[in-house]
Amino acid sequence: MLEGVSVMVEHLRLFDINAYVGKPCQPWSGEWHDRADTLLAEMDYYGIEKAIITHYTAKQAHPDIGNNEVLRFTAEDSRILPSWAFVPSTGKTSDALQVIESALRAGAKLLRYYPNEYFVPLSEYAIGDFLEIMEHRRVPLFVDFSIGSAGGEFETDWEGLISICKRYKDLPVITSEFRIRSNRMLFRALALCANLKVCTSGIWCYKNIDHIVREFGKHRLVFGTSMPCFEPSIPISMLRYAEFSVEVKIAIGSENIENLLSGVKL
């Protein structure tokens, strides 16, 4: 690990909610993690204590493939935690209860939904059966509107996201989107939805984190990198150099995620 990076982030106990493993179908960079030890080495390099991971095949092929693959990594080290993805039920009966209970038994306390990757809407009629159970069990929903491994800019369905947040007010919802310009609808959604949180992997604009903390509170942000697709030093540096207290940085770096996971009803 670079000595300077270690000094800067050590006290933050970084907990990455948005890391990926496996080979993406269209690699954005020349690196990906097919083994737990390479992921752990990158985490050590950047001072990341723990990470919740998703397998690229869960996003780009099918959750039934990637969800099982991710367990191969989490079995190697307790610092690596699983998340599972899901798609809408397609039969006459709902798959929601079976999928959610299987995820929780496997240790996955975070479920991911990729509307644009799966060509499905973020809506009540598509995944209401999942959201009802997740709200009751307090299982966080991570919604990612990007396509492929390189992220996507300005692809969020804000109307769908806000509608879901307002319909399921006790459901923790996390969103992330690569953006370098306008954030008006992000801020509007945070103002309208008390249960909406934002992953730092999608916040690149100057002092965005500072504004969100000042306007909406430290609890509205969770730390994530989207590594190895994106460079982890960007969200780390934005958090490290933000102009608020160390206590707030610690909350964003790890405590907010830990509180979400501890609230899940097994």
Q: Which conformational region is residue 207 in: left (phi greater than 0), alpha (psi within -120 to 50 degrees), or beta?
A: left
CATH of the domain at 252: 3.20.20.140
The string of pLDDT tens digits covering residues 225-244 is 999 888 899 899 999 999 99
Number of domains in the chain: 1
pLDDT at site 57: 93
pLDDT over 90, % of the chain: 74
Q: Is the pLDDT of residue 3 over 60?
A: no
More reliable by pLDDT, 226 or 179 = 226
The CA distance from 21 to 17, in Å, is 13
- Angstrom distances, CA of residue 266 to CA of 46, 133, 258: 32, 12, 15
Starting at the edge strand that comes first in sequence, how are the strands of the sheet with 14-21 ordered? 14-21, 48-55, 80-82
Q: Choose the weakest-confidence range: 28-32, 62-66, 199-203.
A: 28-32
* Average pLDDT value for the chain: 90
Structural domain including 183 reads 3-262
The CA distance from 122 to 145, in Å, is 9
Total H helices, total E strands in the chain = 13, 9
Q: How many CB atoms lie within 10 A of CB 71?
A: 15
Q: Is the pLDDT of residue 73 over 70?
A: yes
The string of pLDDT tens digits covering residues 132-149 is 999 999 999 999 988 865
The string of pLDDT tens digits covering residues 107-125 is 999 999 999 999 999 999 9
Q: Is the pLDDT of residue 30 over 70?
A: no
From the CA atom positions of the chain, what is the Rg in Å?
Answer: 17
DSSP one-letter code for 253 = I
Residues whose CB is less than 8 angstroms from the CB of residue 163 and which lie 6 or more positions away in sequence, other chains included: 123, 124
- Angstrom distances, CA of residue 135 to CA of 168, 171, 192: 7, 4, 18
